[in-house]
Amino acid sequence: MAIKKVVETGLWERSYVPEIIRGMALTAGHFFRNMALHTAHVFGLAKDRRGSATYQFPEERRPLAPRLRTLHRLTRREDGSPRCVACMMCETVCPARCIYIVAGEHPNPQIEKYPVRFDIDLGLCVMCGYCVEACPEDAIRMDTGIVEFSSYTREGMIYDLKKLLSLSPTPKRSVPASARPEDLPQLTEPQA
């Protein structure tokens, strides 16, 4: 049974005037404090004190959460070839049906298959991360830290094997989960 709590209010509270005045004083206090700090920053003063609680986008970017799912990349073996063995697990599990893989016979009998073609249509992708979870080879990751990708065409949103591999570093380097876009290879538009 729900417990009903009755809070008695007097005429003072029911008039709302004191609370309205208190709220306005709080807002005005923040406004004038921020304005004074921003003005001081213009003259090179009090640089160590933030002028407001918000990030000054686009000059200042909000740090990404380490587990945030960002643009996909395909990982590589030591020789630079894709780790992907074209098992189709990611294509099968993808709820948006936006992965398209064509498998080929790998010259190494230990590996069996490799992706001749691997496309992700990011215009359809819902960034669910199922492809990453399903992959048995750690061949696909969503840890590039790139969240701003767009194109003027639908075709431009289709990332092919070459482009997805280019987002992984060469084996000598490693990319931390929080890698910034500027640390990664520059994207190029796929050939039509």
| DSSP bridge pairs for 118 | 101
Residue 86 interacts with ligand SF4 (CB under 6 A): yes or no: yes
Residue 131 interacts with ligand SF4 (CB under 6 A): yes or no: yes
**Residue indicated by tokens 């750690």:** 138
Q: Among residues 71, 73, 119, 140, which is the contact residue for ligand SF4, using CB under 6 A?
A: 140
Residue 139 interacts with ligand SF4 (CB under 6 A): yes or no: yes
> Which residues, numbered 45-84, are part of the site for ligand SF4 (CB under 6 A)?
84
3-state secondary structure of 29: helix
Q: Report CA dihedral (111, 113, 117, 123) to the nearest 10 degrees.
A: -80
Q: Among residues 123, 129, 169, 190, which is the contact residue for ligand SF4, using CB under 6 A?
A: 129
Q: Please, which residue, 118 or 184, has the CB nearer to ligand SF4? A: 118
Helix and strand element counts for the chain (H, E): 5, 5
Q: Please, which residue, 40 or 132, has the CB nearer to ligand SF4? A: 132
Q: Please, which residue, 123 or 169, has the CB nearer to ligand SF4? A: 123
Q: State how far the Cα of 17 lies from the Cα of 183, in Å rounded to an integer.
A: 55
| DSSP bridge pairs for 119 | 100
- Asked whether the bond before 136 is cis by omega within 30 degrees of 0, the reply is no
Binding site for ligand SF4 (CB under 6 A): 84-90, 94-96, 98-99, 101, 120, 125-131, 134-135, 137, 139-140
